[in-house]
A and B are shown apart, each in its own frame.
Chain A
Amino acid sequence: MSLLVPPLAVTAFTVTCAAGRGADAFACALATRQSGLVYNDLNELPCWIGRVAGLEVAPLPREFSEWESRNHRLAWLGLNQDGFRERALAAIECYGAARVALILGTSTSSIGETERAYRELDADGRFDAAQRRSRVHHTHALAEFVQHALGTRGPCLTISTACSSSAKVFASAQRLLHAGLVDAAIVGGVDTLCGSVLYGFNSLELVSGEPCRPFDADRNGLSLGEGAGFALLENVAADATVPRLIGYGESADAHHMSAPHPQGLGAQRALEDALVRSGIAPDEVDYINLHGTASRQNDEVEAALIARLFPASVHASSTKGWTGHTLGAAGIVEAVATLLAIERGIAPGTLNAQILDPACGPQVRIDNASRRVRVALSNSFGFGGNNCCLAFAAGAA
């Protein structure tokens, strides 16, 4: 059978990250090369982070107070940018709540709140009464919160495959829509900075002491960040003019839990599957948003892969110099960067890189470029050797 998938219309999308609240602010930061990275003030680790300013003073509305956590604050902030919440509610009204799926990616959900509960245990070594909120302290909490806030009643799923989580949500949504089980899907992801990821990545010696420099010859590690993003997916008949999801590829490295396959075998398979499912050839691709974490190994493998598979005409870059690595939110944050490139005709370069690694071909660009972007890919690779590549295209002119 043909692997080609029917395209879906991305009828609304939004992003909130260190580089901006909302798509316009993010697009402006990308165009003017304003990084969102700041020196770490969350704990004592000497590194730079991509934090969303103001979350500490942005409590959830009173009716959601039992859901309080940094992750849910960021989710709520993100839902309220770009009129996304209104667009989602309109889709629920149009199709019926049971015909709208909700599929969200997160790596750590609200574990930051669980860490806090452990710091504030009572005299008996148990959760403080205020922290005995079963709804918050588990993996699916984010999706349950957003489902509660929006009122969807369709399939509701969390995908948690580390840094590919909120890319894979697009593939799952495509399968649900294509099978006719729903008429629309709200997809996205949220991950927030917390002790687990800051100290965890530090223990793996993957964090840089400077703002991350993806693909730079002297790069020395990643900068962690946080982000929230959402997209509304409908059949193309809903709006033929907006950008489309045209394909996806998902694969496993089968190599190592925290290091990429040295030849990028799994990543290559995800890329090639995305091309096959979307029916496009490598020379039709205008822009690729790379995973590009600025870790030594990831960037070397990914640069070689892009040099091997694509012609020099492709503009490829990592946007993590603006946002930091937003982990489980990276898929949606970078899907939005890719959609903005299509919508606004600006392909971002690679912020903070000065001299490119010799593994880079001519595809990897430091500078931004104004160019027509008709077809674009977004790569997301995660721990466990988990890979996802998304393919997007411009809508009908």
Chain B
Amino acid sequence: MNVALEFGIEGIGVWSPELADWASAQNILCGNVECAADAAARPPAAILPPGERRRAPESVLIALEAAQQACTMAQREPRDLPHVFGSAYGDLAINDYLCATLARAPREVSPTKFHNCVHNAPAGYWAIATGCHENSSAVSAGDATFGAGLLEVALLAHRESRAALLCVYDVPAVGPLRDVIACRSAFAAALVLAPWSPRAVARAKLRVGDGATTLAPVPALLHASHAGNPAAASLPLLDALARREPAALRIAIAPSLNLHLEISF
């Protein structure tokens, strides 16, 4: 059980209404700046052509924003990177629309909303926007989606000694779905992983299984805003990366299984 995967973290992206990008996230996570409650409603998602940006669902916008930030920081061409997009719930506003329309007037289902409802819609829009023909995946592991996605992308990078992109995102539950899904916020985070090289901003060593942890406290307002958002399980890692302090983190990948992740600089 002690097989370790080692890699470098080359790029980081993040978007939530309070966190416009990695620079602002670093300031807030390091306590330099208060976390403001009034914030952007939509990310720029500049990688999408304007027409698609207007029509794209929220999940696609926030995921592509974080993914693009991470690739820019890593100075990697997005089209060269196999990618994994992870989300516990997919686009809940589209699910609400589909289920409500099916209950009311099923023949009125919009074809565009239907093809946007697939869990791999952000991965598909990303591949189209970047011209990427590499392996493109979309995964879910409920509350453990960040950890399970991190393992999946670390294995991709490890297996073929190449850089790969992870993006996790979730958006708020809408309508009656609020009764069964606790997610109340929008949050996306992305990482570019690659075999270790000096261009990496941090070194990571990952094992499946438990180990000692040094969980840093995430700012309370940020933590509270995203408590029900599975993508925000990335916050402790983002916090360690922002502080540039060595850390050992325990990240769930399944109900009774964790990743042990050591970060060094």
Binding site for B on A (CB under 8 A): 1, 3, 43, 98-99, 107, 111, 114-115, 117-119, 121, 125-127, 131-134, 136-140, 143-144, 147, 153-162, 168, 171-172, 175-176, 178-181, 195-196, 199-204, 250-258, 265-266, 269, 382-386
Residue of chain A at shortest CB distance from B207 = A181
A161 touches B111 (CB 8 A): no
* Chain B min CB distance to A98 (Å): 7
The answer to whether B180 touches A254 (Cβ under 8 A) is no
Contacts of A204 in B (CB 8 A): 111, 114-115
Classify chain B: how many residues form its interface, as a range: 35 or more
Interface membership of B103, Cβ < 8 A = yes
Is B136 part of the binding interface, using a Cβ–Cβ cutoff of 8 Å?
yes
- In the complex, 30 of the A-B residue pairs with CB atoms within 8 angstroms, ordered by the A residue number, are A1-B160, A1-B161, A98-B256, A107-B118, A111-B95, A114-B177, A115-B102, A115-B103, A125-B176, A137-B177, A138-B140, A138-B142, A139-B87, A140-B142, A157-B141, A158-B140, A160-B139, A172-B137, A172-B155, A175-B159, A178-B159, A179-B3, A181-B1, A181-B155, A203-B109, A254-B131, A258-B115, A382-B118, A384-B138, A385-B127
Distance to closest chain B CB from A387 (angstroms): 9
Q: Are A133 and B136 CB-contacts (below 8 A) given A3-B160, A179-B3, A257-B116?
A: no
Residues of chain A within 8 A of B208, CB atoms compared:
155, 181
Asked if residues B89 and A200 are in contact (CB atoms below 8 Å), the reply is no
B73 contacts the other chain (CB 8 A): no
**Cβ–Cβ contact A159 & B138, under 8 A:** yes
Q: Could you tell me the distance in whole angstroms from the C-beta of B108 to the nearest C-beta in chain A?
A: 8
Q: Which of A147, A159, A252 contacts B127 (CB 8 A)?
A: A252
Q: Does B257 contact A (CB under 8 A)?
A: yes
Most chain A CB within a 10 A radius of its CB, from B1, B88, B131, B179: B179
**Chain A residues within 8 Å of B180, by CB:** 127, 131-134, 136-138
Residues 80 to 131 of chain B near chain A (Cβ within 8 Å): 82, 87-90, 95, 98-100, 102-103, 106-107, 109-111, 114-121, 123-125, 127-128, 130-131
Please tell me if the beta carbons of B106 and A199 are within 8 angstroms of each other in the complex: yes
- Closest 10 interchain pairs by CB? A384-B124, A160-B119, A200-B114, A252-B127, A252-B136, A250-B135, A118-B99, A139-B140, A156-B254, A140-B142
Do B138 and A121 have beta carbons less than 8 Å apart? no
- Besides A140-B140, A157-B148, A202-B107, 15 more A-B contacts (Cβ < 8 Å) are A115-B99, A119-B102, A126-B179, A134-B181, A137-B180, A156-B253, A157-B139, A157-B152, A158-B141, A179-B5, A195-B106, A203-B110, A382-B120, A385-B127, A386-B136
Asked whether, in the complex, the Cβ of A384 is within 8 Å of the Cβ of B120, the reply is yes
**Considering only CB atoms, which chain B residue lies closest to A121 in the complex?**
B176
Check if B176 sits within 8 Å of A384, measured CB to CB: no
Task: Give min CB distance, A234 to chain B, whole Å.
Answer: 17
CA–CA, A52 and B135, complex, Å: 32
A254 and B47 CA atoms in complex are apart in Å by: 14
Given A132-B179, A383-B124, A384-B124, A179 and B155 contact (CB-CB distance below 8 Å)? yes
User: Residue B133 at the A interface, CB < 8 A?
Assistant: yes
Interface positions, chain B 140-165, Cβ under 8 Å from A, are 140-142, 144-145, 148, 151-152, 155-156, 158-161
| B134 adjacent to chain A (CB < 8 Å) | yes
Q: How far is the CA of A195 from the CA of B106 in the complex (A)?
A: 8
- Which residues from chain B contact A162 at a C-beta distance below 8 Å? 118-120
Is A140 a contact of B120 with CB atoms below 8 Å? Answer: no
Interchain nearest-CB distance for B146 vs A (Å): 12
Give every chain B residue within 8 A of A126 (Cβ-Cβ): 176, 179
